Amino acid sequence: MTSLNDIRSTFLDYFGRQGHEIVPSSPLVPRNDPTLMFVNSGMVQFKNLFTGVERRDYVRATSSQKCVRAGGKHNDLDNVGYTARHHTFFEMLGNFSFGDYFKEDAIRYAWELITRDFGIDKNRLSVTVYHTDDEAYDIWKKVGVPEDRIIRIATSDNFWQMGPTGPCGPCTEIFYDHGDHIWGGPPGSPEEDGDRFIEIWNIVFMQNEQFADGSMVPLDMQSIDTGMGLERIGALLQGSHDNYDTDTMRALMEASAHASSTDLDGDQNVHHRVIADHLRSTSFLIADGVMPSNDGRGYVLRRIMRRAMRHAHLLGAKDPLMYRLVPALVSQMGQAYAELGQAQALITETLKLEEERFRTTLDRGLKLLDEEVAGLAEGANLPGEAAFKLYDTYGFPLDLTQDALREQGRAVDTEGFDTAMAEQKAKARAAWSGSGDAADATIWFDVAEKNGATEFLGYDTEVAEGVV
């Protein structure tokens, strides 16, 4: 079986042979982009090369980029455990041209790699193009894709923008049909969100520049940005539609089953998926210097951890579980990402400490949640106040409560949650403005400490979105 590690090498070697510089993944925390929470695509580290602000001694590059999509505009947290194709952490394989080759070569390289080197059955592939992009349409026709499998799409799914202004352009996406035993329809159809037709590769043609006054002009420097999910192409090459069947994910799920003495398949399976996924995102974030905290990036990390810990609890794990899976992760991915091994002790300790702390309130919080739900009418939403109490007293991030309720077909009254949060903040302020002396400042700190997390609502103004 071709492992994910082999597939990553095949991809990088292929583009290396086509004159691309093989560039290592950048860390998950963007170096010089405070508006972006985590790196969420391969192009982020090359942003300045696309805009022409920076030049390097290469004009084509290839990478396998660590990506996290668990907050901000690209948030796949709620998809984990529910779709076969989404992770919070994944690797994006990409090739990039900075004013060098353009549409024709980008399409030919992608087609050659997947149909010749990877040997994927052409008859199961379809592609989308932006509805006005006749050039891309004609190139696909020339490489041999039948016209009924070149689908014109008019939505923003096939038009990429770096931000509200700056480079932009149409894109083309390659889909694989895993067969009618899986629910879903071709791109552009109402059932496209199913897992039957899975998008494996997205190729962006940067050909225009968008200005603030609404005008759009052709760029002098035309560039290419592509992204293919390693786990998606891996699943396909390993004979499945499901990312969680790949060798790496399977090994982590097996470690989870083993450590919790539970079955891998059946009802428990979804818990192992979430745990395996969240183990990767949390470990890689810690390795890149993020620590759990009550705001910003650290709170996103804490939310992911706690979410995983609830699933560990549902498996019946009596002791902290996540930290015991770290060796499996390092053995799967430590060779490709040396930072994992280097940070192994820190990852282990951080996971252990967080889980020990959270377990003290998790049990009680879940009991309270059960009681609240027992009093609700069939299908009714959980009142915002109850969700706020879980958040405030038991340290349940809102999305954890939502995840728990979703299994029962319920949601949270988020407006009520926001109101309860606002009321509490107002109370805290009132307590603080009581008098002006220093003793009161300590009360304020106590209040802040006791009330814990401020919900992180995400960065509104992400500018580097990568392929979309």
Please choose, from the candidates 407, 332, 426, 339, the residue with its C-alpha nearest in 3D space to the C-alpha of residue 369.
407
User: What tokens appear for 40 in the block?
Assistant: 């969420």
Shortest gap between Cβ of 385 and ligand ATP (angstroms)? 33
Q: Is 213 exposed, middle or buried (0-12, 13-18, 19+ CB in 10 A)?
A: exposed
Positions 165 through 204 that interact with ligand ATP (CB under 6 A): 199-202
3-class secondary structure, 95? strand
Q: Which is nearer to ligand ATP, 396 or 459 (CB)?
A: 459
Size of the site for Mg ion (CB under 5 A): 2
Amino acid letter for position 402: Q
Supply the minimum distance, in Å, between the C-beta of residue 64 and Mg ion.
17
Binding mask 182-201 for Mg ion (x = CB under 5 A): -----------------x--
Q: Please check whether residue 69 is in contact with residue 88, taking contact to mean a CB–CB distance below 8 angstroms.
A: yes
Q: Give the residue with the Cβ less far from Mg ion, 40 or 401.
A: 40
- Asked whether the beta carbons of 37 and 462 are under 8 A apart, the reply is yes
**Closer residue to ligand ATP (CB): 65 or 260:** 65
**Residue in the shown chain whose Cβ atom is closest to ligand ATP:** 229
Q: Does 161 bind Mg ion (CB under 5 A)?
A: no
- Count CB atoms within 10 A of the CB of residue 428: 17
DSSP single-letter state for residue 322: G
Closest to ligand ATP by CB, 69 or 389: 69
Q: Where are the alpha helices (DSSP H) in 315-375?
A: 326-333, 338-342, 344-374
447 or 468, CB closer to ligand ATP? 468
Residue number, 69 or 241, with CB nearest to ligand ATP: 69
Q: Is 467 in the site for ligand ATP (CB under 6 A)?
A: yes
Q: Does 76 bind ligand ATP (CB under 6 A)?
A: yes
The type of residue at 120 is I
Does position 468 interact with ligand ATP (CB under 6 A)? The reply is: yes
In this structure, the strands spanning 159-161 and 150-153 are: unpaired
Q: Which amino acid is at 97?
A: S
Q: Which listed residue (202, 223, 248, 401) binds Mg ion by CB under 5 A?
A: 202
Site string for ligand ATP, 198-217 (x = CB under 6 A): -xxxx---------------
Helix (H, G, I), strand (E, B) or coil at 168: strand
Amino acid identity at 340: L
Residues that bind ligand ATP (CB under 6 A): 69, 76, 85-87, 90, 92, 199-202, 227-229, 231-232, 467-468
Residues that bind Mg ion (CB under 5 A): 199, 202
